[in-house]
Chains A and B, each alone.
Chain A
């Protein structure tokens, strides 16, 4: 039971990081200014790197598959990423706001894992601490600056926040069958707790940016990803990501 629960937790984290890292890496070479292009690309690489580390932990578990196979040729329904990460990059406003909301969630999650009873996650959380600090520093700076840089830019930030909030709340979809076991065994504090810590983290930044947090009671979190129900965007993404790898999954690339 606990093994299954841990596999579920690791898989959803790994899938989130892989898919968002993949999406964000699409900006490499196409960003608004070279310096930001470089910074954003590094953070996309970090995410894919975190995902790789998580898949390698999975690989070591009983019935674990090799990381590359797990990531590059698993059926869509077996993916457990949230809907937020699946959406295509519509514009830099969307990507920045998603980056801010996701990375704050990621930071809160990994911080909690520093006390995890599951040793490999505890170690990973310590290793990625510095990277996440940079990611949230970068995200906060951009959200604050663009929200204070005139009407057009403020409107873009507020619109993006309105669009993304329900998707971002979907990060914290509880694992129905496993949640309590993971909490009881002190693997992690549970999605509900992380959600509250995340709100505490983003709220002051949004206030400082004069952005209005959408009414949380009025939004329906975009759940479903954790149980394999995805947006229409995930299927094509996976097909594209695995295009070369799946020419011959037994070959070395």
Chain B
């Protein structure tokens, strides 16, 4: 589901490294011309080391977000009410694992193995979307996630699917198709509560209040505060600015929340009729950075569960390992 607009930086590596841009100037020029013409880059192509590094990081974090993202909603897999919701939720969480699978494959084409990526997730070296460090306390949380977090993810993923790296675009094409089901089933369950009994409505309003801040954080800090690189835009690695994506999301979904008689916990939230842009209160970026760095309510549990899964699945994987076989990375 969930790219999230924010690509997490390793602290000492915040800038595109200049020296990378100067190796092999002719090849670099041809590479940049190809992207400018709207052509895709494929795994075997020459590419600047920095392009490769940034893409691995982006796709890898996206992949981690999918499999960690399966956990908050997974919280309600055994309790979904009624056959249809039960099946839809299992299928939705299954899709997220499927997205992880597609994205790890896309990242692998750049030279980093799935095992190495999993290890970086487990050790905390590599991050995932911040929004999944929050708990899904009630059934209504599942409907908020399915509707709004998936909606936000779609904004991000549709943008990224127009990027320059072929395997990532192809994975995203398939992913976006499945996300439309996620959004629809989420919206449906959300509407069911919003138009249901007073208790259901209250449950939903409470969940919405709790999720609003993480949703505002989803696309990352405001453009003026993030060290976003023009190079990444030129190389079509980053396709839209955080603020633009956030604005697009608010434009599409705030009316859909308000039309159901629900409120959002921000008195300043409004669309400025003159600028056409949404205005909102400061969503507490300190908390955002605190949660990224491990201080969120669920960071520890999320990784602990992933560790459990890797540890308890190990005997299965090891039993069928073939160390003598020639291993390779995906070709496309």
Contact = CB atoms under 8 A, between A and B. Distances in A.
Interface of A: 22, 25-26, 28-38, 41-42, 44-45, 48-49, 51-52, 55, 67-68, 71-72, 91-93, 145-146, 149-150, 152-153, 156, 240-241, 243-245, 247-248, 251-253
Contact of A145 (B80, B90, B309, B320): B320
B30 interface: no
B78 A29 contact: no
Interface string B51-88: 00000000000000001001100101111111101110
Contact of B78 (A25, A38, A251): A25
B82 A245 contact: yes
A35 B319 contact: no
Query: Interface residues of B toward A: which range?
Result: 35 or more
21 contacts: A25-B78, A25-B90, A26-B77, A28-B93, A28-B97, A30-B309, A34-B100, A38-B94, A42-B94, A45-B91, A48-B86, A51-B83, A55-B83, A92-B316, A152-B319, A244-B80, A253-B82, A253-B85, A253-B139, A253-B189, A253-B192
A153 B315 contact: yes
A247 B80 CA distance: 12
Contacts of A240: 78-79
Contacts of A49: 87
Contact of B79 (A41, A149, A244): A244
Most chain A CB within 10 A, of B71, B77, B98, is at: B77
Nearest to B140: A244
* Chain B interface, >50% SS class: helix
B124 interface: no
Contacts of B93: 28-29, 41
Nearest to A239: B79
Interface string B193-207: 000110110000000
B204 to A, nearest CB: 12
Contact of B70 (A26, A29, A48): A29
B90 A28 contact: yes
Given A30-B309, A251-B197, A244 B81 contact: yes
A33 B317 contact: yes
A93 B82 CA distance: 29
Nearest to A152: B315
Contact of B67 (A29, A44, A67, A93): A29
Contact of A251 (B86, B96, B200): B200
Given A41-B93, A41-B97, A245-B81, 15 more contacts: A29-B67, A29-B70, A31-B97, A31-B313, A33-B317, A34-B97, A37-B94, A44-B90, A45-B91, A45-B94, A93-B315, A152-B319, A240-B78, A244-B79, A248-B199
